[in-house]
A and B are shown apart, each in its own frame.
Chain A
Amino acid sequence: MGTLLEVKGLSVSYRRGGVAVRAVDAVDLDVPAGAMLGLVGESGCGKSTLARALMGVLPGNASIDGGRVALDGEDLTELTPAKRRQRLWRELSFVPQTSMNALDPVYRLRDQMREVLCERGGLPTKAADERAVALFRSVGLDPVRLTDFPHQFSGGMRQRAAIAMALALNPKLVIADEPVTALDVIVQRQVLDTIRRLGRDLGLSAIIVTHDISVVTYLCGLTAVMYAGRIVEQGTTEALTRRPTHPYTMGLMNASPDLHEPVETLVPIEGAPPDLADPPKGCRFAPRCPLALAACRESDPPPVVVEPGHSAACFRAAEAGALREAARKASTWTR
């Protein structure tokens, strides 16, 4: 299967009080067709900004500094705004975070679906309505709810509606920004199951942005870990969970409980991410990394191929096997 989305050297900055802050720094990312990529990282690492940059809709004070975003070979950053807008929703769509006010409160769902299907999809009203019914069913919503207003939906239902809307024009790629974060655990699982089923049935390609590793392990075949605006490790989910190579990834795996394995002590990673207005010299994770060497604070580690399809940006990638043992111990992480 070919690469659907190829991101090379993408950088995004925004202006904060006169200072330019690089929220996304020279990111390389590949999403093959039919694959789901989980983009993981803690709050503020730039993953949401990256997601929005891929869509090309950023807040006023943010802009893409450089790099390319190629969807099916076509570089979206090179397009005129009008052409870019044409691609939106038809080729790539977006599922927003649950807690946000993502649906217009004064229009019924039916009208909002019609808007997307008719205005952007060119369908006549009747066909649009039929498709809306089908879409709702596919996400597990009763089509009778189409006549409701957004505030009449529960959080989980709103997310399903958002997914239905995202799939309306059969996009090639769906980007979901924390799609289940604000939902309670049971509803989370239901929505994740829906996404999984749709992924399988439609051969959907997706990027799932989340801070929750368990979502990624449940849903995604591929994983990319982001820290302080950079991708520090990417590969198959299996590879990253069994053979994490970057110390940050190792820390993340430690910090997330897994229902299927014996409960060991959860070890959080101490400290906080760097201020991106003034990033540290060398590896950005070095200040928090218990396995850091002097070299790590001197220069930026480039991505190193660990195994086919798996790379990590760490100087000590070769010793990963041994380091993993140390990383599993709580004492390694506490100072």
Chain B
Amino acid sequence: MAYFGRRFLHMLIVLWAIATILFLLFRLMPTDPSIAHLDPTFTEEQRQLVRAQFGLDRPLFEQYLIYMKNLAEGEFGLSFRQRQPVMGLVLAVLPNTLLLTSSALIVAYLFGALLGAYLAWRRGSLFEKISVPLVLATRAAPEFWLGMIVLAIFAFGLNWFPSGGANVAGARYASEWERIFSLDYLRHLVLPVLTLAIYLQGLPALLMRSNMLEIMREEFVTMARMKGLSERRIMLRHAARNALLPLVTAFALGFGQSVGGNVVIENVFSWPGLGRLLVDAVANSDYPLAQGAFLVIAFVLVVMNFIADLMYGLLDPRVVHGEH
């Protein structure tokens, strides 16, 4: 219990620190802070609103306190370009990013774990000799380039899937849920998920393989053989089960990292997610939006790191039940 408490506290501290860093970055940059927060085309009313909310004419420390208070309330200000609350814009695209990330990760980890286990089982075979460098190559490849190739082949070449966006332009749906589960959305989801999965599967595959190889050397695997258990049972229920532990934590960690790393994939496929929002915001010097998008991405990362810690604790009986 104390373990979890400590990790939770750690998570809060990191979140606070990141928010503070962002605050300092944006305010201490060699530009007039008021400009950094006010687009010249704002009306006077809107300027007053922003000034009040962010206390731009107050000393730095007071601004910081106001900033932290705003954050705690989820108030990120108004987007320069779109004149709408940043929070609303961020929340609108958050589901898209979460869906993309989770689908890709699930596919990648399922495939990767199986591939890794198989590679361990077939150690020394030709298949292994070819596959391992190939898997390394997928990790070495820039995600956006993989996306470009996937697009060129499947979207433009074969015309099986659309080449961008999340829905066909102009489509209307009764509710968010309907939109997300529509065939149209799913069709748009396929290529980005495929690309991201190709990129992500390398880690679980290699991790699973190296875990399995180590575990197959353990005494309890030899003992399982001496007990006359079938090789399949030994591989799945004993070797793989032990080898999976680190993969589960890697999954949680991968989720957090991917949400940020999705940036490029979302751009290649014009997928309306957080990454795309961030890039557009930065390109347009829309600081409040950029800040909001970044903070939400960082939030997801930190929370997922914490969940990874939790899961590791829960799954390894040695941690839960304490060393004897």
Q: Which residues of A contact B (CB under 8 A)?
A: 55, 57, 59, 85-90, 93-94, 96, 100-106, 115-116, 119-120, 148-149, 151-154
Contact = CB atoms under 8 A, between A and B. Distances in A.
Contacts of A149: 317-318, 321
9 contacts: A55-B226, A85-B230, A88-B226, A88-B228, A101-B218, A102-B223, A106-B317, A119-B229, A154-B324
B10 interface: no
Given A101-B220, A104-B242, A106-B317, 19 more contacts: A85-B230, A87-B228, A88-B228, A102-B223, A103-B223, A104-B224, A104-B238, A105-B242, A106-B242, A106-B245, A115-B227, A119-B229, A120-B227, A149-B317, A149-B318, A151-B323, A152-B321, A153-B324, A154-B324
Contacts of B227: 88-89, 93, 115-116, 120
B86 to A, nearest CB: 45
Contact of B228 (A85, A96, A104): A85
A89 B219 contact: no
A89 B218 CA distance: 19
Contacts of A101: 218-220
A93 B324 contact: no
A103 B220 contact: yes
Nearest to A165: B227
Interface in B225-248: 225-230, 233, 238, 241-242, 245
B70 interface: no
B20 interface: no
Interface string B88-116: 00000000000000000000000000000
Interface of B: 218-220, 222-230, 233, 238, 241-242, 245, 316-318, 321, 323-324
Contacts of A55: 226
Contacts of B230: 85
Contact of A104 (B220, B245, B323): B220
In order of increasing CB-CB distance, the 4 nearest A-B pairs are: A88-B228, A100-B219, A149-B317, A104-B220
Contacts of A87: 228
Contact of B229 (A93, A96, A120): A120
A115 B230 CA distance: 12
Contacts, number: 66
Contacts of B222: 57, 59
Contacts of A115: 227, 229
A151 B228 contact: no
Given A102-B219, A104-B238, A151-B318, A89 B228 contact: yes
B154 to A, nearest CB: 41
Contacts of B318: 105, 149, 151
A70 to B, nearest CB: 19
B145 to A, nearest CB: 40
B98 to A, nearest CB: 30
A153 B321 CA distance: 12
Which of A103, A106, A116 has the most C-beta atoms of chain B within 10 angstroms of its own C-beta?
A: A106
A96 B219 contact: yes
A120 B242 contact: no
Nearest to A148: B321
Given A90-B228, A106-B242, A119 B317 contact: no
Which of B224, B226, B228, B323 has the most C-beta atoms of chain A within 10 angstroms of its own C-beta?
A: B228
A154 B228 CA distance: 26
Contacts of B317: 105-106, 149, 151
B323 A96 contact: no
Nearest to A111: B237
Contacts of B316: 106
A179 B134 CA distance: 46
Nearest to A55: B226
Nearest to A58: B222
A78 to B, nearest CB: 18
A148 B227 CA distance: 21
Nearest to B123: A60
A151 B324 contact: yes
A89 B321 contact: no
A152 B228 contact: no
A119 B229 CA distance: 8
Nearest to A56: B226
A55 B228 CA distance: 10
Contacts of A57: 222, 225-226
Nearest to B220: A104
A152 B226 contact: no
Given A94-B226, A104-B242, A106-B317, A119 B324 contact: no
A104 B317 CA distance: 11
Which of B218, B222, B223, B224 has the most C-beta atoms of chain A within 10 angstroms of its own C-beta?
A: B223
B242 A96 contact: no
A148 B322 CA distance: 12
Contacts of A103: 220, 223
Given A105-B318, A149-B317, A153-B324, A93 B226 contact: yes
Contact of B324 (A90, A94, A152): A152
A153 B324 CA distance: 7
A52 to B, nearest CB: 8
